[in-house]
Structure 1
Amino acid sequence: MTQEPTAPAPANSAEQPYPVRSVAIKVAQWIERLGSIWVEGQVTQINLRPGTRTAFLVLRDTSVDMSLSITCDPDLLRRLPVPLTEGSRVVVYGKLQFFTGRGTISLRVTEIRAVGIGELLARIERLKALLTAEGLFDPRLKRPLPFLPASVGLITGRASAAERDVLSVAQQRWPAVRFVIRNTAVQGPSAVPQMLEALRELDGDVDVIVIARGGGSTEDLLPFSDEALCRAVAAARTPVVSAIGHEPDNPLLDLVADLRAATPTDAAKRIVPDAAAELAGVREMRARSAAALRGWVQREANALRQTRSRPVLADPLRELAHRHDEVERSRTAARRCIDHTLRTEATRATHLREKLTAVGPAATLARGYAVVQRVAGPERHVVREIDDAPAGSQLRIRVGDGAITAAALGTTRLTPQTTDEKRK
């Protein structure tokens, strides 16, 4: 069967608006194209009136504040092996319907399956593996808590035992601590959206954030393993402490938080120091410091006394006197050495003078020798050979006690034999 081509829709404008029926029909046609789908959520409301042919439910997302209206046959609810209650996690199969008369959308379901605890735990394990692979549990990403936070954010149930434990223990340990409390649901479909909103409000305005709950069943603690909450805690700028208080099974919040506390009381002990213990520590440190200072002063005083008792400091002039004696001995030795050297050199000079006098011209003349000089004008020449004083030369003869003027009458040359005999 062939379908006739539809005429093009007229142009839409302020002058040619769509009537409500056209819009409603178009929306219904688009929703019809989606077909049948599987949807998972948490039942927050069940309206099953006796005598009616339709049961109404509200299915809420477990991570965000979004819900969807559901309709089904009442017999579908009655045939379930486990009665459906508010808060149950379910997977439904159905088809979206748009009611053009009221302009509302609902999901008409034909099958409802309860999500068991085993399936939920398996999903948590798969999410744990995913977050581990992304590095959200890496210990290197853990931020240290401040030693003394000025303000602490607390996310917990209203008037809960966890709130009382955290406040009482923290104020006993450090009375000046200031808390900024955000009371939220800690179980059920609205827990995750409310905790996310509280986390956004506190992040950056306080020094540390504590998410606390006093334990509970595995089903009650499912919101603390929600992916959206884990990613929000990992992305927070403020250090987050997880204090769920459930030892057998740790929710994923314990792994992604910067610090895991076993109980809310343990969290209070972790976030603020004990004033009494800190004062005792200060007193102990002061006592140890004073003892160390006194010991140091005593050691330095003993060292000073030992130094002062040394001979060089007991009698400072003793070393100078010892050095003075050494200097005097050195001076005496130097003077004696100099005197000996002077006497030796004086004796040597006397001997040399005597030798020089003995071989000098005056001594030679005194022994009977004479020096003959030929006078030639103003000049005088010593006569060494007979050729230096020919006959007629004017001579000057110097003897030991004066000089004699003479003239050369002649010369006589000695023969070699005469010379040898003379020498003999």
Structure 2
Amino acid sequence: MSSSTERSRASTPASTSENPWPVRTVARKIADWIHRLGAVWVEGQVTQISARPGTQTSFLTLRDPAADVSMTVTCPARLLRSIEPPLRDGASVVVHARPTFFLGRGTLSLRADEIRPVGIGELLARIERLRKLLAAEGLFAPERKRPLPFLPKGVGLITGRASAAEHDVLVNAQARWPAVKIRVLNTAVQGARAVPQIVRALSTLDADPDIDVIVIARGGGSVEDLLPFSDETLCRAVASAGTPVVSAIGHEPDSPLLDLVADRRCSTPTDAGKTVVPDVVEETARIHQLRDRARRALHGWVDTQCRLLDQIRSRPSLADPFGPIERRAAEIETHVERGRRAILTTLTHEQSALASARARLAALGPSATLERGYAVVQYTDDAGELRVLRSVTEVGDGAPLRVRLADGAVHAVVREPEP
């Protein structure tokens, strides 16, 4: 801090409601603070270049590509004319400038004494460094990419106004599926305003519940033209979106970082129009084919089941269910009849044997002998039991006897037994 500034500050009393500072004092103090910053190197994108012939000073706006922040830059006209190739809107530059505060208008600008355009090699190197950073964070990982819906309710399209990319996406999508609903948001697709506008459009479509997939499309262009689609802010916005995003930037050789972050990369806007919706003709043919296959499969299954039923129906147990029962009943009746005949035969044989035994028994029994004139003489032993008299010595004179004849019995008394 210079001694004059210190003396000026010491001589100026603090402001109060009773003793406020005039505008010139406030402006001078702000200018003092800003002028103390010194020269700085600033990087940004050039917009609104104003270099009128015959003037000594040129004006341009230096804009931050990742935020909605810009500053006015003044420089000698000869400095701007010395740059080859000439600067144009959207060019990336590095500026060596000193912040300047104009007291009369109360505005802040950068007074540049050197402007260096950022070459293609430097741009590509920065994109490569950003690619490695995003890859290390996993933004390119295949597992985080979401599948596209088969038939989205609505498709969001972010592209330039009345551009060939918009025409290609709309024509191809509607040709494949005429009923598709596409909500188009037109934005800048190159230059300093591209990234903020695309990010806002992406946020708007992502919040729309009727949008199931978002397409970001742009036609081909130079590396500088496609720089917004390798911007870190846009890549992170696409990675954090809740709706699947399709990248259709440039042509097949073009590969901005957005292609790596998006859920699906399409080589051209035409390819994107064919990717987001199915082909109604192909799907109709596939439905007919599946119906035919289902019909043939069903007919084959029915025929197989009919043959199986015929085979089951032709089995004896089902063709004649009562036949086996009747045959078993006949067999049972046969066995019953055979058992009956065997029993009758056995009974007859046994009856004959019994009659023969009875005849023999009758012929050999005592009754038959008695009928031929014989008699059985019995006496009573000492125990009072009747016994057959076999010898005259077994009884004495006067012993009672019982004589059994064929038709009855008589009683007698022994008189003079004769040996």
Range into which the TM-score falls when normalised by the shorter chain:
0.7 to 0.9
2:276 to 251, 271, 280: 271
Q: Structure 2: which 5+ residue stretches go unaligned?
A: 352-375, 385-401, 412-419
User: Residue 94 in 1 paired to residue 91 in 2?
Assistant: no
Q: Over residues 49-96 of structure 1, what are the superposed CA-to-partner deviations in whole Å (9 max), with x where a residue is unaligned?
A: 344332222111223332111112223223334333333211011111
Instruction: Name 1:153's counterpart in structure 2.
Output: 156
Give the TM-score of the pair, scaled to structure 1. Answer: 0.77
1:187 matched to 2:205: no
After superposing the two structures, state which structure 1 stretch, 171-180 or 327-336, moved more.
327-336
What residue is the counterpart of 2:126 in the other structure? 123
Any idea what the Cα deviations from partners look like across 1:130-159, whole Å, max 9, x if unmatched? 000011111111111111112111111111
Q: What's the counterpart of residue 380 of structure 1?
A: none
Matching residue of 1:259:
264
1:293 alignment partner in structure 2: 298
Q: 1:38 to 1:324 in 2, by over 3 A?
A: same
Distance 1:13 1:344 in 2: 155
**Is 1:172 matched with 2:169?**
no
Q: Which amino acid aligns with 2:200?
A: E
CA distance in 2, matches of 1:51, 1:83: 18
Greater CA drift, 219-228 or 6-15: 6-15
CA-atom RMSD, angstroms? 4.0
CA distance in 2 between counterparts of 1:10 and 1:370 reads 183
Q: Report the Cα distance in structure 2 between the residues aligned to 1:150 and 1:166, rounded to whole angstroms.
A: 16
Q: Secondary structure at the match of 1:34?
A: coil
Q: Which amino acid aligns with 1:236?
A: A
Structure 1 gaps, min length 5 = 347-366, 376-397, 405-424
The aligned residue for residue 412 of structure 1 is none
1:219 equivalent to 2:224? Answer yes
User: Structure 1 residues 343 and 94, CA, compared in 2 at 3 Å: closer, same or farther?
Assistant: farther
Contact residue 12 and residue 18 of structure 1 kept, 8 A: yes
Q: Report what 2:206 is aligned to.
A: 203
What amino acid is the match of 1:254? D
Measured after TM superposition, the shift of residue 177 of structure 1 is 1.0
The answer to whether the aligner puts 1:47 opposite 2:50 as a matched pair is yes
For 2:301 and 2:198, the matched residues in 1 are separated by 57
Hey, what's the Cα distance between the residues in 2 that align with 1:109 and 1:163?
40
Residue 342 of structure 1 and its aligned partner are, at CA, apart by: 9.7
Is 1:153–1:181's contact at 8 Å kept on the other side of the alignment? Answer: yes
Q: How far has the Cα of 1:278 moved from its partner?
A: 1.3
Among 84, 108, 112, which residue is 2:111 paired with?
108
Deviations 1:331-352 (A, max 9, x none): 5677789899999999xxxxxx
CA distance, structure 1, for counterparts of residue 105 and residue 96 of structure 2: 23
Name the TM-score, length of structure 2 as normaliser: 0.78
Deviations 1:3-27 (A, max 9, x none): 5786497554544433222322232
Identity rate, percent: 60
Distance 1:322 1:52, change over 3 A: same
Aligned residue-pair number: 381
CA gap of 1:241–1:338, structure 2 versus 1, over 3 A, is farther
Q: Once the 2 structures are TM-superposed, how far is the Cα of residue 235 of structure 1 from its aligned partner?
A: 0.8
Distance 1:368 1:136, change over 3 A: farther
Which residue type is aligned with residue 256 of structure 1?
V
Moved more, 68-77 or 223-232: 68-77
- Does structure 2 retain, via aligned residues, the 8 Å contact 1:245–1:261? no
Match of residue 242 from structure 1 = 247
